[in-house]
Structure 1
Amino acid sequence: QFLTGRSRCPRCGKTIAGYDNIPLFSYLILKGRCRHCRQRISLRYPAIEAATALLFVSTYWVFASCTGPSPICAWRGILGPASLPFLLLVMALVVLVFIIDFEKQIIPDELSFLGFGATSALLLFGGDNIFLRLFSGILVSFFLLSVHLVTRGKGMGLGDVKFALFAGVFFGWPMGLIWLFTAFLTGAAVAIILILTGKAGRRDKIAFGPFLAIAFVIVAFWGDKILSAILL
């Protein structure tokens, strides 16, 4: 329902028309209020829209000025200019994973399967070594599955495992491991800060999907630099 349902005002429940749902512009035109009930619209909506727009622009900028072996540039090498729409779709998918798992603590299977299916199909079309990328996807997802089984689902959800399969195929080897390492490092850093500031306890459950999404963006842009730093 989150993915397929119509947008509604969280205050009055009225369906939001398409012309009132234009990213950023509608918020400015409506002066931050619902057209029906006139209640204020949360700032998180334009903030998410602005962050997504910035992510899209940054993706295009890196794509258009490729000079190194970053994952974004690697995809340009596989599919050429046709890879840009795919990369923007992937970034939109990652934003959704971040938002949904942060709010609902679940990663919809539809998102992971869409990403995995589209990535695999384009790899076959582009002629890249899909088997090595599948190995990367299976490896990182198996690691998260092991964490899920050992902790009996408390340390990792199956949604994280399925998303890892897609991410591992997208990044390939060894960048898939760099992505997983970055996700754990980011998650650990945030968890320590939350515990030290008293905003979370050691037994509190913290969604891991947002850190997988954050790491995805970091590695997509700077994965080659992270790998070089590790190998030094």
Structure 2
Amino acid sequence: MREIIFDTETTGLDPATGDRMVEIGCIEMVNRVLTGATFHAYFNPERDMPVEAERVHGLSAQFLADKPLFRDRAEDLLAFLGDAPLVAHNAQFDFGFLNAELDACGYYRIGDDRMVDTLAIARRRHPGAKHSLDALCTRYGVDRSHRVLHGALLDAELLAQVYVELTGGRQIGLQLAVDNTVEQRSETAVFIPKLGEYRAPRPHAPSAEELARHRAFLETLQSPLWNS
């Protein structure tokens, strides 16, 4: 199954009050394995950058001034996302900004049915614990020593590793070898024989030696229930 792990950086907390998305980083996974395919872009927000937001991600208005507008990269982004489920940490936040930008450009919004929220998964799996991305990296031994500031692509890379751990660990990426006599019918590695395939009957009848050993064993039992 193809999934996209993504993260955004913004000018603030609420697109309804004029905040804009300034960076998006997306990583492709297939069957919980990174494929190496990514999408990353900075956007000119056409507004100032609040000091508080710049302290988080380090993206200044001057740095973003010559970057493309969201509408200039929207089609490329949507092509990369395709119809895959979208995985994000505190996904309502990222979906809110992504859909606000799509609305402004006249594109269809991305439905919540495609949303996978790792924050909600973490809360179910570790109730009462800390659920920030940093805390989950620490819990699962994901190296974040190179994370000085928030960055959309870097955070998506970290989240991809955390997501694998949250959903079963690294072993779920292993695949069973399959030959031409079977076909895979689900993500859970259930294999169904092809129709019309002939299989020789497997012997189930006990041998004469096994029957004799069984009779000898029965004779050693004291007052067996079936004689009551």
What TM-score bracket applies, with the shorter chain setting the length? under 0.3
Which structure shows the bigger proportion of residues in helix conformation?
1
TM-score, scaled to structure 2: 0.27
TM-score (norm 1): 0.26
The structure whose Rg is larger is: 2
